Amino acid sequence: MGTSNPAGRLISIVGSERFRDDAETLSRYASSIGGTKVPPMCVLYPISTDEVAAIMAMAKEDALKLFVIARGRNFGYGEAQGTQPGQVIIDLSRMDQILEVNEQLAYATLQPGVSQQKMYEYLQTANSRLQLDVTGAGLDASIVGNILERGFGHTDYGDRFARVVRMTAVLMNGTIVKTGFGDYEHANAKNTYRYGVGPMLDGLLSQSNFAIITEMTIELMPKPEKTCMFIVSAKDESALPLLVDAIRELKLSGVVNSAVHFANKARAIGEKDNRMAGFWNMSGSISGPTDMVIAKKRIVRAALKKAYPKSSIWFIDEFMMRLAAFANRLFNISLYQPLKDVWDLQMGVPTDNPLRILLSDTSLQSATIRTDSYKTCFLWINAVCAADSQSVSRLYQLTASLFKENDYIFPVTFTAVNPRSLIMITNINYERNDVELAKALAFSKKCHEVLAQNGYLPYRSGSGAFDELPKSKNAAVLDSIKGAFDPHGVLAPGKYGIGK
């Protein structure tokens, strides 16, 4: 049913300045930092929900295929790359307004183009009492985009999707849907009560291809009176399950509420050598009124020492970080920067340094990195396990063996996002050439197959890797929902295996 001039019709919606089909732009959007390429037809930069609705309605009429990104800085998960060649990429980075920050009720409403850096600077400039939960994805990463992929952060609000109150979504027929109480114009609690009345649509709109999200309201965390970061170093490889059991109980009891990360040495400090870094390095935080934090410190120390007596434990607060910064200026302490990176993330300060460690590139800037020409490629490999010693030990051993057999360095983090589960994230780095790319893709596929066969399933995926996802028994149900939301399969066919 399409027209002979789809580009002209798209330009009539967004204007010539926000339409791109030149070779340089298409190369950037085709490429991932993993080394794969999926060439798009063109790129659009809408600036309003109404423009998004018009694009979707036109795409249906002209039988175009669409793929949407928030900012396209989802490094290692496909970035701006679509699910198949010839798609129209809808880049929402120019929809970057912070629509509201409510200091009293501690929430913010923002568009998908708002980066971690922009939100942080807004709160700083406003001298806000609130802070954002941030990820290690970098300064330029979209908050909304990461939340929709169910990414996690570092603070007590680390389960970021659980902090979504409502969304505005555009369906393929151009209908604009507002979740929760958002569809009731005068609802008093529309920005504070996520459930609304009746069925919840929010879960269907994450990790899916049912609609385009153009607005989101999220909870923000009031800055606590005191935050104390705890760092644990364990020299023995066998310490991981013991520490995992201890943290599970601390989280179940409410003593520790932050996300807690267990990183091996390769992940924690990269290629640097440091005698203070252990085989396992754990970080988390306790926060709240000062007296409560003091009491929690005693409980945390006792629990961790009981679980693994040989562990080295440090408790670090704001005063100690200032002292460390002063000492670093005098003596250039090698462990200071990794320590500051973790502290910043737990204080809601975004940084590019985790990406710099990941890629061994001290000059990397997330806002300007070119994924079509960057010297190093990498892919993420991830899985979820129950937070018990047997599950985490088995997952670690399986993955470590796979990496060793295939001669890859094994940097890994296990993160307790909630009290009962751990998310394992590791990655492979390789040179940008066809031989290494083929080897890496085969290895990634093998890892996900072996882990899935043993019951360890991924928590997220990305373009180029959706085919690696294990087949769900819910696939037919999801395809039926896709048929209701998008009967012609226009939006991101194949994303998370839906509507292939």
Q: What is the pLDDT, as a whole number, of residue 2?
A: 56
**Helix or strand or coil: residue 369?**
coil
The pLDDT of residue 335 is 80
Tell me the C-alpha distance between 254 and 2, whole Å: 57
Asked if the model's pLDDT at residue 396 lies above 80, the reply is: yes
Q: Are 149 and 183 in contact (CB under 8 A)?
A: no
* Tens digit of each residue's pLDDT (9 = 90 or more) over 207-231: 999 999 999 999 999 999 999 999 9
CA distances from 400 to 239, 290, 394, 424 (A): 15, 41, 10, 12
Average model confidence (pLDDT) across the chain: 95
Q: What is the pLDDT of residue 272?
A: 65
Q: Which of 88-92, 128-132, 265-269, 338-342 has the lowest mean pLDDT?
A: 265-269
Please report which helix (H) or strand (E) contains residue 25, including its range.
Answer: helix 23-30
At 271 the pLDDT is 63
The answer, yes or no, to whether residue 185 has pLDDT greater than 90, is no
8 Å CB contact between 207 and 460 = yes
CA 201 vs. chain centroid, Å, equals: 21
Residue 242, pLDDT score: 98
Residue 370 buriedness (CB in 10 A; 0-12 / 13-18 / 19+)? exposed
Structural domains of the chain, ranges and CATH numbers in brackets: 6-93+484-497 (3.30.43.10), 98-222 (3.30.465.10), 226-351 (3.40.462.10)
Is the predicted pLDDT of residue 26 greater than 90, yes or no?
A: yes
pLDDT tens sequence across 241-279? 999 999 999 999 999 999 999 999 988 876 666 667 889
Alpha carbon distance, N-terminus to C-terminus of the chain: 21
Rounded to an integer, the average pLDDT of 184-209 is 96
Chain segment 433-487, per-residue pLDDT in tens: 999 999 999 999 999 999 999 999 999 999 989 999 998 999 999 999 999 999 9
Q: Lowest-confidence range among 356-365, 389-398, 456-465?
A: 356-365
Whether the CB-CB separation of 174 and 181 falls below 8 Å is answered with: no
Q: How many CA atoms within 13 Å lie on the side-chain side of 340?
A: 16
pLDDT at 1 over 60: no
Tokens representing residue 40 in the block = 């798009």
List the beta bridge partners of residue 98: 110
State mean pLDDT over 360-374: 92
Whole-angstrom distance, CA of residue 420 vs CA of residue 248: 7
pLDDT value of residue 275 = 66
How far is it, in rounded angstroms, from Cα 476 to Cα 494?
13
CA distances from 252 to 201, 389, 484 (A): 29, 15, 40
- Residues 248/416, Cβ–Cβ less than 8 Å: yes
pLDDT at 269: 76
pLDDT at 205 (0 to 100): 97
Mean pLDDT of 370-399: 96
